[in-house]
Structure 1
Amino acid sequence: MNVRKSSAGSTVFQLLNYAFFGLFTLSCVFPFYYLFINTISDNNLSATGYITFYPRGIHFDNYLEVLKIKGLGTAAFVSLYRTVVGTVLTVGASAFLGYLFTKKEMWGRQTSYRFVIVTLYFSAGLIPWYITMHNLHLTNNYLAYVLPSIISPFNIILVKTFIESLPPALEESASIDGAGYARVFWSIVLPLSAPILATITIFSAVYQWNAFIDTAFLMTDTKYYTLQYLLYRYLNEANSLANLIKSTQDFNSLNLQNMQTPTSVRMTVTMIVVFPILFIYPFFQRYFVKGILIGAVKG
């Protein structure tokens, strides 16, 4: 009898558990679904808020027209450049420094580590940052997107903690066989650190792809604009942008429902910017939870 009650209670708990996480998942997915159906629906209905659960008057002219906007291709290349190069440099530096900070024989290890960690708590501020970047000639310079982010204290802490959780016997056996620090790092530590490296890859890629404040302050030449900065400008100038797109369209061949509106411009450009991260994340997701858990177990 007790077994039946326990089994029934367990079943109810499982159903409630599935229902809760199902609703939670739906609440996470629905904003992206809502955004997408509004980009392919009748623009007039979308602007007035009639599109909520399913698309109406389906068309793809919004994407075709937004992709014709001047400078969009260049901005996409700049964002891709900073995401790929910046992420590779950040992950590489975080892995190497995290490994070095686990070595007690490293000269000045504690002092160097404290200098890195203190930057998590204190910042010079916007004006000193701009003056420094200007004096280093990093205005209107692609290097401004990747150099400042190479050293990431939070990522270094995660990697250091993860490496400290690895069995010391692995490094000791390699050292006995004559392997140096570089060989141990490249052949043993780096392959075993795949979960935490995948985790900080996600962190770095999302940061680099979404960043636009540095563009606003440091870049005056349009060829250095990122896709996200263009999105920021479009969101602030959606009315004029919609009118600009309308002025280039052939009204004799275009249906009225497909004419651009400020709402369609905002949602379409947002969807274009968000899609790459949504596409890449599933490939790293299986490493993400394991990496962040192991990397945060010890301080």
Structure 2
Amino acid sequence: MLTLKRKTRSEAIFDFLNVVGMALICFVTIYPIWYVLVNSFNDGTDAMRGGIYWWPRQFSLDNFGAVFRSEGIMMAMGVTVAKTLVGTVAHVFFTAMVAYAFSRRGLIGGKIYILIGTVTLFFGGGLIPTYLLIRDLHLLDNFLVYIIPVLFSFFDLIIFMTFFREIPEGLEEAARIDGANDWSIFLRIVLPVSMPVLATIALFHGVYQWNDYFTGMIYINNTDLQPIQTYLYRVVAESSSNQMMAAVPGGVTRSVTSQSIKLATMVVTTAPIVFVYPFLQKYFVKGMMIGSIKG
């Protein structure tokens, strides 16, 4: 018969401190998000008095109404959705294609390519050379600036390559006997059996594309091509109430202030990824474990 071992006093104190510490960390992490959410649903004029910490004092949807009446935010949301979908599909396919070639042990110069790629993980050209390159490629104020510069990632290649090398060679040999070429093997055999790693890399890059504001801020001057995160950056950066209200044409009431619009915009721009992430979080953990063990 099993008997439960009672905890010593020191173990009980250690567990208690762990629980308290984790509770504090969770509170410090979650409360700022809750504070923004509560104030975004509060009347803007009333919120200026302060003292709102846990629940809206005067519940109001005027802030969100003002945000959604802005043509700019809907255009920015469309750009973000488009670049996330197109960029993720293109990145996953291109990186997987290169990784499949790198995973073949007979690749001529493969070790040299790996060495060159490894260097890029630690050193970059810098912002100014990158800007000049983007300009010379005529990608300024071009939707493709969200796609082409991040079409390939050597870090993602390593994850792909490790997974591809675990695929039994017998599958490819059988396909070659049946007359399949490299493209057929890659598209019809390698990709279908690699769904776990494809989903992982797609999630990695999709979250990056959704959260990226820097590309739109540096390389895009046309407001019609700026993503939602760059739009949020502009809204938060503007401190003048007149500037803020100019960004929200028509229908603005006295209950809406520049600060309340900022908070509502934060909620609108971050809500989609916040709702999706908990359902896909397991792929982040799985992605870091891919290739670490056989099976």
TM range (shorter): 0.7 to 0.9
Shift in alpha-carbon separation, 1:271–1:246, aligned structure 2, 3 A: closer
Per the alignment, residue 3 of structure 1 pairs with 3
What pairs up with 1:1-299 in 2 under 5 angstroms? 3-5=3-5, 28-239=29-240, 240-244=242-246, 248-249=250-251, 254=253, 256=254, 258-260=255-257, 262-295=258-291
3-state SS of 1:71 partner: helix
Q: Deviation per CA, 1:136-193, whole angstroms, max 9, x where unpaired?
A: 1111111111100001111111111222234444444444554433333223322332
How many residue pairs match? The answer is: 291
Most deviating of 225-234 and 143-152: 225-234
Task: Tell me the TM-score normalised to structure 2 length.
Answer: 0.84
Distance 1:193 1:51 in 2: 49
SS in 1 for 2:42: coil
* Deviations 1:22-76 (CA, angstroms, capped at 9, x unpaired): 7655654444333222111132443444222222211111111011224222222
For structure 2, the residue ranges without an aligned partner over 5 or more in a row are none
TM-score (norm 1): 0.83
Q: 1:140–1:244: structure 2 CA closer, same or farther, 3 Å change rule?
A: closer
Give, in whole Å, the separation in 2 of the partners of 1:272 and 1:205. 18
CA offset digits 1:261-293 (Å, max 9, x no partner): x32122111111111212332343333322221
RMSD of Structure 2 on Structure 1 (CA): 3.2
> Which segment is superposed worse, 92-101 or 28-37?
28-37
Answer with 209-218 or 53-62: which moved more: 209-218
Structure 1: gaps of 5 or more residues: none
CA gap 1:113/1:64 in 2 versus in 1, 3 angstroms: same
Q: CA deviation at 1:134?
A: 1.1
Identity %: 34
8 Å contact kept, 2:64–2:261: no
